[in-house]
Structure 1
Amino acid sequence: MKLLLFFITLIQGVILISGDNYTKGSALYTYPNAATVAVPYPTTFQENYNGDLKFLVFGDWGQLGKQTGQAQVAAGMTTWANANSTTFMLNLGDNFYQSNNAPKGTAFNNASDYEGVFSETDPKWKSYWLDVYGGQLANITWYSIAGNHDWYNNVTAEVDYFWDIDSRFFLPALYYTRKVTFGNGVTAAFIHIDTNPFYYNYTNYTKVNNMKSNLQTFNLYNDAGTNATLKWLDDQLTAVDDCDWIFVVGHHPLVGDCRLYDPKDYYEMYRLVPYLEKHKVSAYFNGHTHELAVSVANSTSPVTYFGSGAGGASLGSACPNPTWTVPNTFGFLSIYIPADGKTLQYQYVSANTTNAPTQVLYSGTVNAQSATMYFITSLNFYNSTSTIIFL
């Protein structure tokens, strides 16, 4: 049976590669001379866009089966992206799950229903991504990171897919930095990090999957690995300090109480926070918790924390005490920065039903860090609007 599945996967992979005219990453960028995909990409990617910057943010999407929402979120995002000329996607990880139909206790690497992907030619690239997201979403780049479900199988295969097959799934390494110039010379930096080494206590980690062994292979499970990552993050933030906007993108949450010290549930995520605040990062984007939630900048922190992990996987956990959240709702986050770069406007959008119009649940505005010495966040909660000024 496993041999048959191997040949089916191989045939589908050949069709996937030969049937479409994708541009592989190695045709556009310099392939890194690195021992593993965990080594940060050595240079900053430069991008230029005319006019406004518009991007969608979502994670935790690649799951089929009962009580999942991938189809309806894909439909809602496609309609939104087509209408608003979305520039690119921020993909927050957990790209490929085991289906929600798998019986309890099914092995993570079950031959027919498994976590993550086995290879760059895995049929799930087609059934979970290429066949699901159409319209404008099929034409723009998905700037991606890996979530824990991607680590449960072959996380290297997701990086290989970018380099060898399709650069639209942008994942050149598990850590990389982009500098975007748009509009009237406005600059925005995006630092993409893998937060898996910070979220789990691997000393006591007993889950039966490849997470711990993969992290050990990449030397990311110990203090030396996490300390090196923090130094890299600090160096990257220093290098982009002159940008009008600075964003950090990670899979695991820092919304609400999830950024507090908790050795049981969030382990070392709290160690990221001082670096974000020291460099006055504009926003941190995360998935993992299957919710839509935000913690706005305030008098104790200049950072706005955006959670957008309701992209399709069955809904569940949440971070306590955010500024706003909504339960049991599939959806995504829309970000719009006008060409003058002075403000960031965000909208949380529900997408619970495939054929129903999307609905904006919550919206607000964040000022560029360089524009003022204080932060103004305008909040629009359903039908009520207020403005909060933090000195």
Structure 2
Amino acid sequence: MEMAISVKIAVMFLFILQGVRASPRPAAKMDKIRFLALGDWGGLPFSPYTTPVEKSTAQQMGVVAETMGIDFILSLGDNFYYSGVNDITDNRFQETFEEIFSAKSLKDVPWYVIAGNHDHSGNVTAQIKYSKVSKRWNFPHYYYDLNFTIAGSNTTITILMLDTVLLCGNSDDFLGMEPEAPKDYHMANTQLEWVEEKLKASRSDFLIVAGHYPVWSIAEHGPTKCLVQKLYPLLAQYRVSAYFCGHDHNLQFIQDDNGIGYVLSGAGNFMEYSIKHKTHVPKDWLKFFYADISSLGGFVYVEIIPEQMIITYIEARGKSLYQTTIPRRSGR
């Protein structure tokens, strides 16, 4: 299903959130799960510590949260440009995060966070520790899982939050260098083993994996060779529903022959047009690409009901750009 919809449509139902290992917050009662996915939103390392794109994107996220309802936000890495944070008292937490995503509708919404390559240029441990400072910042470990159940049904959702920098190595955007190898092979292999164990054991109706680097992308960075080699076979083998990522600064939806949806949402701070790697992705896989450099950014809104996951791409001026659906997994 592909169609444009208005983001002003009010959502009338509620959902229940259960078993989220990253947060001890009490469950709310709802009959669907709704979240935003946003990557590469990390402002600037100098005053005013933000960009017009980040501010506009944050404002529209607040509008969507108020009109459609959201229950959490997936933060897909590159949370603080260009070199992460120094320590837990770094003013970037306030000036790039707390003071920008400040709409009333976002105040009590939990963020589930992973690190990107720019975060790894700083102190990721400090970002993890910030979970004890901010009531909405949830970053319990470099990689972790989230588990949800929709009330009134037995529909379950699992999201595996990965650290693709530890898995594949860091990259240098300014030199155009892509990750070549992990810094610590033991740590990389331990995470990969954890991923496979979780995927193999999962009986969830919707199984999502999220990381910073894309598996597939047609833009500046393109496919991440390490993930294509190591992660992609696991996504296919265990019939993952979708893979969410950032890294390239635009919006993309790619769907492979197995039906796995690749949701790239990297337009939270910059918007860059590039189709440099278009020939590196099978041409019939690309379903949607948006990188209007005059745009003020964008993000993804996801609603999961028992039958399907509905994915909507929204630009910062409020226009719905593209919508698609992924069905509930069968034959588990």
- Identical columns (%): 28
Distance 1:93 1:231 in 2: 22
Structure 1's unaligned 5+ residue stretches are 1-40, 99-114, 374-391
Counterpart of 2:324 in structure 1 is: 364
The answer to whether the aligner puts 1:56 opposite 2:31 as a matched pair is: no
Distance 1:63 1:201 in 2: 20
Matches within 5 A, 1:169-248: 169-183=137-151, 184-200=153-169, 221-240=183-202, 242-248=203-209
Deviation at 1:239, TM superposition (A): 2.4
| Of 345, 361, 374, the match for 2:310 | 345
List per-residue Cα deviations over 1:238-293 (Å, max 9, x = no partner). Answer: 222x11110001000123468x9x9xx73412111011111100000000100100
- The one of the two structures with greater contact order (alpha-carbon pairs below 8 A, sep at least 6) is 2
Deviation at 1:44, TM superposition (A): 7.8
Distance 1:125 1:201 in 2: 22
Q: Structure 2 counterpart of 1:58, which letter?
A: L
Structure 2's unaligned 5+ residue stretches are 1-19
Count the aligned residue pairs. 289
Counterpart of 2:3 in structure 1 is: none
Counterpart of 1:269 in structure 2 is: 227
**SS at the partner of 1:122?**
coil
Q: Structure 1 counterpart of 2:31, which letter?
A: G
Matches within 5 A, 1:305-324: 305-315=262-272, 320=278, 321=281, 322-324=286-288
Compared CA separation, residues 148 and 194, structure 1 to 2 (3 A): same
Counterpart of 2:4 in structure 1 is: none
Contact 1:48 1:182 in 2 (8 A): no
List per-residue Cα deviations over 1:42-91 (Å, max 9, x = no partner). Answer: x7879665211111111100214697500110111110111011111011
Counterpart of 2:111 in structure 1 is: 142
Aligned-residue RMSD, C-alpha: 3.0
Matches within 5 A, 1:256-335: 256=217, 266-270=224-228, 271-298=230-257, 301-315=258-272, 320=278, 321=281, 322-328=286-292, 329=295, 330-335=297-302
List per-residue Cα deviations over 1:187-219 (Å, max 9, x = no partner). Answer: 1001001001344478xx8989xxx9xxx9xxx
Contact 1:48 1:181 in 2 (8 A): no
The answer to whether the aligner puts 1:154 opposite 2:118 as a matched pair is: no
Compared CA separation, residues 116 and 343, structure 1 to 2 (3 A): same
Compared CA separation, residues 206 and 126, structure 1 to 2 (3 A): closer
**SS at the partner of 1:369?**
coil
Contact 2:312 2:323 in 1 (8 A): yes
Q: What TM-score do you get using the length of structure 1 for normalisation? A: 0.67
Contact 1:57 1:90 in 2 (8 A): yes
List per-residue Cα deviations over 1:357-383 (Å, max 9, x = no partner). Answer: x0011111111112x79xxxxxxxxxx
Contact 1:291 1:327 in 2 (8 A): yes
Q: Which has more radius of gyration?
A: 1
Distance 1:288 1:49 in 2: 34
